[in-house]
Amino acid sequence: MALFHWSHPGGPAWGKYYSSLHYFTSKSKTMIPGPKGLPLLGSMGLMASSLAHRRIAALADACGARRLMAFSLGETRVIVSCNPDVAKEILNSSVFADRPVKESAYSLMFNRAIGFAAYGVYWRTLRRIAATHLFCPKQIKASESQRAEIADQMVRIMLGSRKDENVVRVREVLKKASLNSMMCSVFGQRYRMDEANTEMDELRGLVDEGYDLLGTFNWSDHLPWLAHFDSQKIRFRCSQLVPKVNRFVTNIIADHRAKKTHSNRDFVDVLLSLQGPDQLTDSDMIAVLWEMIFRGTDTVAVLMEWILARMVVHPDVQSKVHAEIDEVVGGSRAVTEADVAKMGYLTAVVKEVLRLHPPGPLLSWARLAITDTTIDGYHVPAGTTAMVNMWAISRDPQVWRNPLEFMPERFVSKGLGEAEFSILGSDLRLAPFGSGRRTCPGKTLGLTTVSYWVATLLHEFEWSPLDETEVDLSEILRLSSEMANPLTVKIRPRRGIRMSQSS
């Protein structure tokens, strides 16, 4: 029977469905094209790869199934689209309002946070609270001073690199900055980046471990008979991590209740002030706060590292950004967020990096069909996992002109027909933060932070390769698609040079 199921398009999980009474009573009998993979396993090797998005795109091309492809991950039915129209159909459908909750996400309490909570009253409440008190324009504006303070600390750290011949290990600085920013917004804790702090170091370790666990493909999520063995030690590592997270966040909540650690109202205060049906239990508060720190830290650092890497690889583009910043800001003062709003070319650079290096090339987490539905004319049964390959869409020559070229001008030159559209989810040609009900709630805050910090670092420094060696742009897909080799560069201060030349 296993071989019979495996013989169907899409492999064993789909074959099992196609052999069921449910399929024979459905309206559409057309099978979704896709690879068979291996008996029992299906195409497990696809997702176990560190470049899963590339392998899925290549397989969709080979199967002639870019619009919609079916494949099996063990006993899990999966569909994936590499087409913007079909992607929009999936992401904006109320049927795909849930996410499949893998073991690590459940163990790490994310099933009670915004990312993985089931669609319903509780999830909508969390979204509304976050949108009102953390990600709204008023709150983003109110937190501008903290981002400016952290930007200044980054500059000072990099200026201190002169004793190391102006060599900067970029990822280390960016991760400290993004974690510091989220700690301030969520927990109300302010730290100096250039000073040792055991609490920050502890949290960084917790985030790194959680990031690794969620980014690891867990075979037992799709082969239930493997779950007992915990062969990848994911369950064991989660059991070691969760008590540490509980203890860390519980202490911060307790301090806030005692009014010991903060002067300004932060997100912990917001959650503690909720009354009536909105009030959260302590365990739910821990899950929500942990997810905010977790999700808000690495995405900013990953995207900024890609942007700065591209500035080193493309010095002509870096020169254009420098010229724009100098025109808007000059050399006598620091960049402000109001200045960034006037920088059209910098905005185009950020969009172009998001196109070529989307942090979530498979939009990070998949969707789950809660009822039967029809996608692109095919019947898709309830319980099917759906993915969108944003990496493939953003490099599709049918969608983009010269898609492999780094060309920010495509977003500023009206004649190319690619300039005027939002990247926040309305146009699936480029929707790195998702679309529909499950779009990233912190996308505006993330873009604001990235754009401002990049503008500051480019205003202050010229960026060049280390010892004339080329920057390695190879990538690795963990939870996000990050540079396989951390960016290390040479910098040269700009503002002091210009000021001395003009005096």
The pLDDT value recorded for residue 419 is 47
How many angstroms separate the CA atoms of 162 and 84, rounded?
Answer: 47
Report the half-sphere exposure of 102 (CA within 13 A, side-chain side). Answer: 22
Residue with tokens 């500059």: 155
Among the listed residues 98, 115, 36, 21, the one whose alpha carbon sits nearest the alpha carbon of residue 72: 36
The two three-digit tokens of residue 229, written as one number: 């063995």
Distance, CA of 207 to CA of 223 (rounded, Å):
27
**How, if at all, do strands 488-493 and 167-169 pair?**
antiparallel
Alpha carbons 388 and 82: distance in angstroms, whole number: 6
The per-residue pLDDT for 303 is 97
Question: Are 33 and 70 in contact, with CB atoms under 8 Å apart?
Answer: yes
- The confidence score (pLDDT) of residue 265 equals 80
pLDDT at residue 501 in the model: 40
Fold assignment, 75-502: Cytochrome p450 (1.10.630)
DSSP letters, 134-190, are: TSSHHHHHHTHHHHHHHHHHHHHHHHGGGGGTTEEEHHHHHHHHHHHHHIIIII---
Q: What are phi and psi of 323, to 5 degrees?
A: -65, -40
Do 280 and 312 form a contact (C-beta atoms < 8 A)? no
* Whole-number CA gyration radius for the chain: 24
- The answer to the question of whether 136 is labelled as a binding residue is no
The pLDDT value recorded for residue 23 is 74
Which neighbouring-strand residues pair with 109?
Answer: none
d(CA 252, CA 273) in angstroms, rounded, equals: 15
Residues 6+ apart with CB under 8 A from 372: 26, 379, 380, 381, 382
Give the pLDDT means over successive 10-residue stretches in the chain (503 positions): 79 92 75 95 92 96 97 97 97 95 89 92 94 92 95 94 81 94 90 87 93 93 92 95 95 87 77 92 94 88 97 98 97 95 96 96 88 96 97 97 96 60 89 92 95 98 89 94 96 69 38
Output the pLDDT for position 296.
82
Q: Which residues contact 92 (CB under 8 A, 6 or more apart)?
A: 435, 436
Here the tokens at position 361 are 């090339």
DSSP per residue over 466-497, as a string?
A: GGGPPP---EEESSSEEESS--EEEEEE-HHH
Q: Is pTM, for the whole model, over 0.85?
A: yes
